[in-house]
Every structure is written in structure tokens, then in C-alpha cells.
Amino acid sequence: MTSSVNRKKIMIVSTGGTIAMVKKGREVVPLDQGSSLVTDIPGLHEIADVELFEFSNIPSPSMTPSLMWELAKKIDDFLENKGYDGAVVTHGTDTLEETAYFLDLVLRTEKPVVITASMRNISELSTDGPRNVLSSVMTAAADNSYGMGVLVCLNDEIHASREVTKTYTSNVATFDSPGYGPLGIVDENSVIYFRKSLTREKIMTDRIEERVAIVKAFSGDDGSILKAVYKMGYKGIVLEGFGRGNVPPQLAQVVEEIINSGIPVVVTSRCFKGRVYPIYGYLGGGADLRKRGAILSEHPLAQKARLKLMVVLGLTNDLEEVRKYFEKHIGGLINEVEH
Ligand code: ASP
């Protein structure tokens, strides 16, 4: 508990999700009264001065990059201009990691921003929403959360936005950071950090390029889907490959054609641990794709590489400039791969 002298002002920004839903008949639907119950939690107002701003009341599959962009401006305004010390965003779990990572990239503020959600709706036994909000407000109000980036707090664990992903369709312990682990925990009245994310980055832009698609490669893929997506006019494509960033041979030529037309192709991996790296020189291997001009994303999750590409394309569409944002640890110039 904080003394009244240094009580923090925390804004809860609700966007929707199961945390603001109830069961009606056999289905789970958004609450008619919006997110009003999100702050109706015993003990919450003893932690900080908490206010609620309803940004939206949507399930998270309805979240879009333009809404994320609007949300980022709103949060910066609350924290940088309106005197709030921190923000908690309530969100659906399905795309939470995307909004969290997007905010982490573009927010100007370094004040704590914590995203939370619930897996169980308000009418379910042992709903996890109130506890998650309580722990998130504690995290947002904690002095040691300053400068830690946008945090994801559920189930009393605190994760880095860049690292975290939803791993389980239904379990409350769904958020995990494979290969990294949580940054810290909320335990009783304490917010405890074990480490800081060292791979965090901010990319300051005044606009984003929303026409960026994800194409997932599959065994036997003949490249026709990638080609069709390119013809639809996307300004950037994230190609989710296998392992180190390899794709079936038929895709190699298509990738080269797309790049030669000035559209960046950023290669990620279906593996969620480890790095994409230009090791394999066979047709469609990561090193072969890179020689053809593909950009290898060191961040393996396609859904996050896509958001980063949207942000980067808001700044530049020079392919070699774009490459610099994604290949920070791949040494040498193109064709001169470090081993
Ligand atoms: N489908 C819901 C959503 O993402 C799930 C949740 O909130 O947990 O909005």
C-alpha cells in the first residue's frame, strides 16, 4: 500500500475482451454496461488513484493496427500530458501480444504501461480478471516498473511484450515467453523483477504502413499463395518459414521477384525460440533467400514482425534501410554472411 503523499495516478484503459464479457445462454458476449466492472474490485483503490477510460468494447480479434495506433496516442497523452503515472490496458487475450508489442515499439512515454486480460469471463467460477487487474495496477504503480517497456501481466507473472505469446487456448496460465521466461512476478504486495529485456527497441514514427501481410509457408508450397498476396498490392510481406528461416524451393524465385519490385519480404520462423539466421544455401534456404534480397527477422514470431514492418515502413521503404531494423546481429553486407 502507498501513503497518500505519493499515491500514484493510474489510468485503466479498457478495450474489451473476455475480461468485460459474461455468459448469456451458451455463448460468451460483451457486457451491455461496457467495462464498468473492470474497476469494481475490492482493494483496488487502496493501491492507487484509479480511473477508467473506455477506449473500446471489442473482442481482441477485432483489434486493428489503426486502433492500436490511436490507443498509443491516447496513452501517451494520458501519461505525458495529463499527469498520470502509469496505465493499465485491459484487452482480449487473443491478440494481446500484438497490441502490447506495437505499443512497446511506438509509445513515447517510459512510464509504466501494463496490459492485462482474463481467460475466464465475469460469470465463470474463479474468474481471473479482477486478480489480473489488481496485479497490473500494482505493477503500473510500482517505481521499479519505470523504463521496463510495455509489460504484460497475467496470472501474477510479468512478461516483456516482445517476448510473450499466448500458448494455450483455454488455460489461465496461457501467457509465456518461450526461451526467456517472465521478467518478474507480483507476489503479495510486491512487484519483483528478476531481469530486464535487453532486446527492447523503440521506433519513433508519425505514421504506419498498414498494408503488410503474413504468408505462412507449408511443405509442398508451390508459391502461388505468396504470388497472389503480392498481386493484391501489399507494401510489405512477412513470410513465415521453417527452422532458421527456410522455405520450399518453389518460393525462392517468387521471393526474388517481389523484392525486385521494391516490396520487402521479411522472413520469420514457425519456431518460437531461437533466431532466424542465414545458414542454409540450398534453394529456399535462409542464406539463399537473403542473397535474393530477403530480410531475415531476428524476431521469430510473424505476428510481431508484421507490426514492426508496419512501423518501419512508416519511416522508410528503402529495402536496405528496412533491413537495418531487422538484421541487427547478422553481420556483413548482403552476400557476405558472418559465420
Ligand atoms: N476471444 C477473446 C478475446 O481475445 C479471448 C479473451 O479475451 O481472452 O477477446
Residue 76 belongs to a domain: yes
Same domain, residue pair 184 and 291: no
**158 vs 37: CA distance, rounded Å:** 23
Q: Considering the chain, what percentage of its residues have pLDDT values greater than 90? A: 85
Q: Strand 295-296's sheet: what is its strand order?
A: 212-216, 236-241, 265-269, 295-296
- 18, 93, 109, 139: the catalytic one is 18
Distance 123 CA to ligand 1 centre (A): 15
The Cβ-side half-sphere exposure at 73, using a 13 Å CA radius, reads: 9
Do 77 and 35 sit in the same domain of this protein?
A: yes
Shared-domain flag, residues 231 and 329: yes
Is 147 in the same domain as 287? no
Which pLDDT band holds residue 153 (cuts at 50, 70, 90)? very high
Out of 143, 165, 193, a domain closes at 193
Is 18 an active-site residue?
Answer: yes
Query: By alpha-carbon position, which residue is closest to atom 4 of ligand 1?
Result: 92
pLDDT in tens, 274-288: 999 999 999 999 999
pLDDT at 339 over 70: no
Residue that finishes a domain, picked among 193, 222, 253:
193
Q: Are residues 224 and 134 in the same domain?
A: no
Confidence at residue 332, expressed as pLDDT on a 0 to 100 scale: 52
Query: Which cell is 213 given?
Result: 501481410
Residue nearest to atom 7 of ligand 1 (CA): 92
Closest atom of ligand 1 relative to the 119 alpha carbon: 8
- The verdict on the CB of residue 87 being under 6 Å from ligand 1 is no
| pLDDT over 70 at 237, yes or no | yes
Q: With the C-alpha atoms ordered 187, 190, 191, 195, is the resulting torsion angle positive or negative? A: negative
Q: From 15, 60, 97, 167, give the residue whose CB has the most ligand 1 atoms within 8 Å, as the site to mutate.
A: 60
Instruction: Specify the CATH number for the domain of residue 244.
Output: 3.40.50.40
**Distance between CA atoms of residues 159 and 178, nearest Å:** 11
Domain identity same for 217 and 184:
no
Q: Which of 22, 93, 122 to mutate to test the pocket of ligand 1 (most atoms within 8 A of CB)?
A: 93
**Residue 79 counted as domain residue:** yes
Closest residue CA from atom 3 of ligand 1: 92
Residue 314 lies in a domain: yes
The alpha carbon of 117 is separated from its chain's Cα centroid by a whole number of angstroms, namely: 14
Does residue 18 have its Cβ closer than 6 Å to ligand 1?
yes
Q: What is the phi/psi pair of residue 102, to 5°?
A: -60, -50
For 113-134, what is each residue's pLDDT tens digit? 999 999 999 888 999 999 999 9
Q: Looking at ligand 1, which atom is closest to the CA of residue 91?
A: 7
Do 124 and 254 lie in one domain? The reply is no
Q: Which of 127, 158, 193 is the last residue of a domain?
A: 193
- Per-residue pLDDT band at 324 (split at 50, 70, 90): very high
User: Is the pLDDT score of 38 beyond 80?
Assistant: no
Question: Does ligand 1 lie within 6 Å of residue 60's CB atom?
Answer: yes
Do 222 and 182 sit in the same domain of this protein? Answer: no
pLDDT higher than threshold 60 for residue 33? yes
Residue 207 lies in a domain: no
- 230 and 153 assigned to the same domain: no
Average pLDDT over residues 190-207: 96
pTM attached to this predicted model: 0.94
Separation of CA 28 and ligand 1 centre (Å): 10
Q: How far apart are CA 246 and CA 258, in angstroms?
A: 17
> Is the CB of 94 within 6 Å of ligand 1?
yes
> Does ligand 1 come within 6 angstroms of the Cβ of 284?
no
Answer yes or no: are the C-beta atoms of 324 and 333 closer than 8 Å: no
Residue 59 CB less than 6 A away from ligand 1: yes
- What atom in ligand 1 is closest to the CA of residue 16? 9
Residue 217: CA count within 13 A, CB half-sphere: 30
Cβ atoms of 17 and 95 within 8 Å: the answer is: no
Do residues 284 and 176 both lie within one domain? Answer: no
pLDDT of residue 331 exceeding 70, the answer is no
Q: Domain check: are 53 and 160 in the same one?
A: yes
Domain shared by 9 and 149, yes or no: yes
Task: Find the 3 Cα to ligand 1 centroid distance in Å.
Answer: 36
**What pLDDT score does 193 carry?**
98
Predicted confidence band of residue 200 (pLDDT cuts 50, 70, 90): very high
CATH, residue 80: 3.40.50.1170
Question: What SS3 state is found at 241?
Answer: strand
Domain that holds residue 129: 4-193
Is the Cβ atom of 154 under 6 angstroms away from ligand 1? no
Question: Quick check: is 163 in a domain?
Answer: yes
In a domain, 203, yes or no: no
Confirm whether 205 is domain-assigned: no
How many structural domains are present in the chain?
2
Question: Is the pLDDT higher at 43 or at 334?
Answer: 43
Residue 31 in any domain: the answer is yes
